[in-house]
Amino acid sequence: MSEDEEIQLDVTRPATLHNGAVSTDFPTSKDAIMAWNRLRPEQAQRASIRIIGGQLYSAAELPKLLNGSRFLEES
C-alpha cells in the first residue's frame, strides 16, 4: 500500500482489535477503530484490526482509517 493510497472501509462490518495478547471483538469496524484510537501510543503502535472475513490492517495502516479515509456506510 502506497503512502498516499486512500483506504475504503465498510464500517458496518464486524472487526477484532488485536492488542498484544488481548483480542477484542466489536460489532462494527468503526467501534474497533474508535477503541484503537483510545489506546496508549505504545499500545497503538503494535495493535492491528482484522475485519471479520476480510483484511488485516496493521498499526501503520490504522491512522489512514482515521484520517481522510472514506467510510462506506450502508444507508
pLDDT of residue 49: 95
For 25-68, the pLDDT digits (tens) are: 999 998 999 899 899 999 999 999 999 999 999 988 887 776 54
Which pLDDT score is estimated for 61?
87
Nearest to 56 by CA among 11, 18, 22, 27: 18
In this prediction, residue 74 carries a pLDDT of 46
Measure the CA–CA gap between 40 and 7, rounded to whole angstroms.
23
Residue 69 pLDDT more than 60? Answer: no
Using one digit for the tens of pLDDT, what is the confidence trace for 11-26?
Answer: 889 999 999 999 999 9
Q: Judging by DSSP bridges, how do beta strands 15-19 and 22-26 pair with one another?
A: antiparallel
Domain map of the chain by residue range? 10-68
Contact 13, 28 (CB under 8 A): yes
Backbone angles phi, psi at 46, to 5 degrees: -110, -5
